[in-house]
Amino acid sequence: MHIIKRTAQFALLGLLLLGAWVLLGLPSRSAVRDLARMLPAETSVMRQRDGEARDAGRKLRRLQTTVPLRAISKNLIHAVLSAEDPNFFGHEGIDWDAVRESIETNIEKGRYARGGSTITQQLAKNLFFTTHKSLIRKVREAIVVSWMEGDLPKKRIIEIYLNVIEWGDGVYGCEAAARRYYGTSCASLDVDQAAGLAAMIPSPRRINPRINSGLHARATRKVLRQMRWAGYLKRDIRDMGKEPGKIVVSEDGPEPRDEDDPTPTPSSTPMPLATSTPIPTVSPSPSMTPPPPADRPHPPTQ
């Protein structure tokens, strides 16, 4: 009986210490509330990438320009919603169906083969944590996600997301990405260009047209099909060849580098780093409204 009591006490102490460790790694509540009116000058992932570049003896680069939601092509919004979080407007930060499917797939494959993170979860990771995977980070992330969903409207969450996420080596936000890879503003992206940017999000340093054009092309076709399934794309895409299978990206080995072109081009012109910048709140528009239900084939489980 004494052994059982001591074991229970140690277990309780362990849980208390674990809870304290989780809480100590959280951002302040006010930092999350401030996102309603301001963007941070830098994110945790930006600092992580700067540290990795310094450790590798590489020159630091950070290309970013923030833009309001009204200056972002609806094609890009539709592509990102279709590829990253089709139920964005229907969940409260965590898509439990996606989590369940992710767990089942990973158990079946015997490895980490599929993620189930929503746009809100990805934003929390980018702003306050790092790309390093751990259960502790996921717990902290879930807490921050609940705060963000309570403090920010959906349109503000995706507005921040599109302005801060990584889109390649030193490239952050959709404006810098559009100019680097397509030589245009994010407001002018056509459907194919938007799908190309959305295709990069799961692994922007590997699914990258400057690093592996073949892999990027396959991933882009996959996003176009997801847009069609979601009802955002009416174009017949049967002429695009065989539907790509699961996009497998190895996370082993050194991070690929997106080298600057010897001769500057419009797509590689560095964009200035944004400071803490207020982005005006915009009223909902058709680009932020999910399409009405339609008779269309259900996308196969990825």
Mean pLDDT estimate for the chain: 81
pLDDT in tens, 130-145: 999 899 999 999 999 9
The Cα–Cα gap between 272 and 172 comes to 11
Is residue 13 exposed (0-12), middle (13-18) or buried (19+ Cβ within 10 Å)? exposed
Please determine, for residue 159, whether its predicted confidence score (pLDDT) is greater than 90: yes
Domain edges within the chain: 39-249
Query: What pLDDT is recorded for position 74?
Result: 96
The Cα–Cα gap between 59 and 244 comes to 36
Token pair of 279 as six digits: 């982005």
Task: Spell out the SS3 assignment of the chain.
Answer: CHHHHHHHHHHHHHHHHHHHHHHHCCCCHHHHHHHHCCCCCCCHHHHHHHHHHHHCCCCCCCECCCCCHHHCCHHHHHHHHHHHCCCCCCCCCCCHHHHHHHHHHHHHHCCCCCCCCCHHHHHHHHHHCCCCCCHHHHHHHHHHHHHHHHHCCHHHHHHHHHHHCECCCCEECHHHHHHHHHCCCHHHCCHHHHHHHHHHCCCCCCCCCCCCHHHHHHHHHHHHHHHHHHCCCCCCCHHHCCCCCCCCCCCCCCCCCCCCCCCCCHHHCCCCCCCCCCCCCCCCCHHHCCCCCCCCCCCCCC
CB 43 within 8 A of CB 127: yes
Q: What is the pTM of this model?
A: 0.78
pLDDT in tens, 177-220: 999 999 999 999 999 999 999 999 999 999 999 999 999 999 99
285 CB neighbour count, 10 Å cutoff: 12
CATH code given to domain 39-249: 1.10.3810.10
- Tracing tokens 């200035």 back to the chain, one arrives at 272
Please determine, for residue 261, whether its predicted confidence score (pLDDT) is greater than 50: no
Query: What pLDDT is recorded for position 142?
Result: 94
Radius of gyration (Cα) for the chain, nearest Å?
Answer: 20
Least confident of 10-14, 92-96, 210-214: 10-14
CB 196 within 8 A of CB 182: yes
The Cα–Cα gap between 25 and 44 comes to 12
Across 288-300, average pLDDT: 47
